[in-house]
């Protein structure tokens, strides 16, 4: 069964124990605050084991996005779950590499 | 010598992070940058403006100034706030250093500004504010 919550920009799909986060057009400080609230409201229920950040619609991300991914990674690590990322455009991929996050978070092909 | 200048003042609201980086990128287009260079400028400006909002004014309302200057093929972007300032700029610029880990800040803002621009200078005084000056030369293609 899948359940959808979110705003026009941010989309969150929960399927069994997997949450797919469509990060929206621009993941900056302004949008990250809202995304965290929506995501953590689901995570707190304790059923999610896998979190996937899907950047298909995302054309901008800065350190606030990196902080958001690290924050969810910490939560998931504490409950034995995982965080993955996918569909990053070249700009977002570059941010991801420079941040060093590629060493701790898997990129799903 | 080609010269151009722009000056923008806006409230320290998070809505303006996007406004500021898109404006800076639009100003830069007269140098015919490639997509990657535009993205570099957007990210660097976004980092500096976000810092002014979350650290400088600590989410209270203040005025952020974005200044753009073009001298020949070089764009100089300055982001200024009159917020709390930084006591130890050298320390603040170290990768992964943050004073707000509880807000999920990663301490990577200055790191990105440094990576994406050719030059980065930070001037700051406690209780007076912070001024971030960034330069990037766009080669003619
Ligand atoms: N405009 C500013 N006013 C006051 N303090 C600042 C300002 N800009 C940066 N700082 C200080 O410098 C530190 C490092 O800034 P930097 O942007 O590198 O990391 P961050 O903002 O903490 O995290 P991130 O940018 O990854 O979200 C900040 O934590 C803050 O203490
Ligand atoms: Mg920052």
CATH number at residue A75: 3.30.750.24
C-alpha pair distances (Å), A43 with each of A7, A12, A14, A37, B117? 17, 11, 10, 10, 37
Q: How many domains does chain B have?
A: 1
Pairwise CA distance, residues B94 & B65, whole Å:
24
How much is the pLDDT for B59?
Answer: 78
Range(s) of the domain holding residue B120: 3-137
Q: How far apart are CA B124 and CA B100, in angstroms?
A: 18
The reply to whether residue A71 touches residue B18, judged by beta carbons under 8 angstroms, is no
Where in the sequence is the domain holding A89, given as residue range(s)? 2-107
Q: Is the CB of A63 under 6 A from ligand 1?
A: yes
Residues 6 or more apart whose Cβ sits within 8 Å of residue B88: none
pLDDT > 90: percent of chain B: 97
pLDDT at res. A3: 64
pLDDT tens-digit readout, A64-82: 999 999 999 999 999 999 9
Mutation choice for ligand 1 from A63, A68, A71, CB with most ligand atoms inside 8 A: A63
Query: Which ligand approaches the C-alpha of residue B112 most closely?
Result: 1
Can you give the CATH number for the domain in which B96 is found? 3.30.565.10
The sign one gets for the Cα dihedral A69, A70, A75, A78 is: positive
Q: Which residues of B touch A95 (CB under 8 A)?
A: 43, 112
Decide: A59 and A26 in contact? Cβ < 8 Å.
Answer: yes
Q: Specify the number of domains making up chain A.
A: 1
A62 CA to middle of ligand 2, Å? 9
What are the tens digits of pLDDT across the range A47-67? 999 999 999 999 999 999 999
Specify the pLDDT at position B141: 87
Tell me the ipTM for this assembly: 0.95
Percentage of chain A lying above the pLDDT 90 cut:
90
Quote the pTM value. 0.96
Number of neighbours of residue B135 by Cβ within 10 angstroms: 16
Nearest to A92 by CA among B135, B46, B96: B46
Residue A5: what pLDDT? 64
Cα distance between residue B1 and residue B132, in whole Å: 25
pLDDT digits (tens, 9 = 90+) for B46-103: 999 999 999 999 979 999 999 999 999 999 999 999 999 999 999 999 999 999 999 9
- Kindly indicate the confidence band of residue A21, based on its pLDDT and cuts at 50, 70 and 90: very high
3-state secondary structure chain A: CEEEEECCCCEEEEECCEEEEECCCEECHHHHHHHHHHHHHHHCCCCCCEEEEECCCCCEECHHHHHHHHHHHHHHHHCCCEEEEECCCHHHHHHHHHHCHHHCCEECC
pLDDT tier at A7 (50, 70, 90 boundaries)? low
Using CB atoms, pick whichever of A33, A62, A70 lies closest to residue B43. Answer: A62
* DSSP letter, residue B93: T
């Amino acid at each position: 069964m899948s359940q959808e919550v979110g705003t026009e920009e941010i989309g969150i799909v929960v399927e069994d124990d997997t949450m797919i986060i469509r990060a929206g057009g621009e993941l900056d400080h302004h949008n990250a605050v809202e995304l965290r609230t929506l995501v953590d409201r689901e995570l707190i229920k304790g059923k999610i084991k896998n979190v996937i950040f899907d950047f298909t619609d995302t054309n901008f991300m800065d350190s606030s996005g990196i902080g958001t991914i690290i924050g969810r990674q910490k939560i998931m690590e504490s409950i034995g779950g995982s965080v993955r990322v996918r569909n990053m455009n070249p700009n977002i991929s570059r941010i991801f590499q420079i941040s060093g996050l590629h060493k701790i978070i898997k990129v799903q092909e | 010598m080609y010269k151009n200048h722009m000056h923008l003042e806006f409230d320290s609201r998070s809505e303006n992070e996007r406004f500021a980086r898109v404006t800076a990128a639009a100003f830069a287009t007269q140098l015919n940058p490639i997509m990657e260079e535009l993205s570099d400028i957007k990210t660097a400006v976004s980092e500096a403006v976000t810092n002014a909002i979350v650290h400088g004014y600590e989410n209270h309302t203040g005025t952020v100034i974005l200044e753009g200057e073009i001298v020949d093929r070089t764009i100089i972007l300055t982001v200024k706030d009159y917020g709390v300032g930084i006591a130890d700029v050298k320390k603040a610029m170290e990768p992964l250093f943050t004073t707000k880990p509880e807000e999920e800040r990663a301490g990577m803002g200055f790191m990105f500004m440094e990576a994406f621009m050719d030059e980065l200078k930070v001037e700051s005084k406690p209780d007076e504010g912070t001024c971030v000056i960034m330069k990037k030369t766009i080669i003619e293609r």
